[in-house]
Amino acid sequence: MNGNDEFIRPARSSDLDEIFSLESYWAYAPHWARAQLESELLRPDSIFLSAESLDSGLCGYFIGRILEEELQVLSVSVGPSYLRRGIAARLLEAAFSKARLKGCARATLEVSERNVAAFNLYQKLGFQVVGKRVKFYSDGSSALLMDKLL
Ligand SMILES: CC(C)(COP(=O)(O)OP(=O)(O)OC[C@H]1O[C@@H](n2cnc3c(N)ncnc32)[C@H](O)[C@@H]1OP(=O)(O)O)[C@@H](O)C(=O)NCCC(=O)NCCS
């Protein structure tokens, strides 16, 4: 617990319906298939976390993978009624702690240059832009590559 009404815990299979709905809701989420989410729960190299509200169930999730000393941030989303309460920041911090314990030295991600909320979130948590993939996404936007030392 953290003084708010939400807590962070490992994701479980009973969360997947809500995670799938949340993924599908947001334009900027990667839109994984339900089967991909299921297999992610089983991967030993995955860090898959849920944020749960004491009042109303699942309110956010984080998916990342560990590749040697790197935590790759793959997806983080928060429910529309829970925004700007620090939930995404807490999910990411929890993932960083787990990744550090598993020997990770840095975190990496890609974010659309048009996704201002996510870009600001990552910057606030210490990520810096280290590269750009021009017109990487299907909407024509470029991907910013960001890195952070853990
Ligand atoms: C991006 C997202 C995960 C942020 O979740 P959140 O829980 O609202 O974020 P937090 O409350 O932890 O915000 C932390 C910081 O991020 C930045 N931020 C978050 N939302 C923002 C917004 N809409 N506009 C500008 N900055 C924003 C701010 O710096 C914020 O700190 P502040 O509230 O003290 O100003 C959420 O907007 C979301 O789910 N978006 C859709 C999915 C998505 O784009 N995911 C990322 C790509 S996979």
Dump pLDDT digits (tens) for 96-114.
999 999 999 999 999 999 9
Question: How close is the Cα of 37 to the center of ligand 1, in Å?
Answer: 22
Domains and CATH numbers, the chain: 6-108 (3.40.630.30)
pLDDT in tens, 56-89: 889 999 999 999 999 999 999 999 999 999 999 9
**Per-residue pLDDT for 124 more than 50?**
yes
Pocket test for ligand 1, best of 40, 83, 110, 136 (most atoms within 8 A of CB): 83
3-state secondary structure of 35: helix
Confidence at residue 4, expressed as pLDDT on a 0 to 100 scale: 62
By CB atoms closer than 10 A (0-12, 13-18, 19+), residue 77 is buried
Confidence at residue 1, expressed as pLDDT on a 0 to 100 scale: 46
* Lookup: tokens for 74: 């793959």
Q: Considering the entire predicted model, what is its pTM?
A: 0.96
Q: How far is CA 120 from CA 5, 15, 53, 128, in A?
A: 24, 27, 24, 11
Distance CA 23, CA 43 (A): 19
**Per-residue pLDDT for 38 more than 90?**
yes
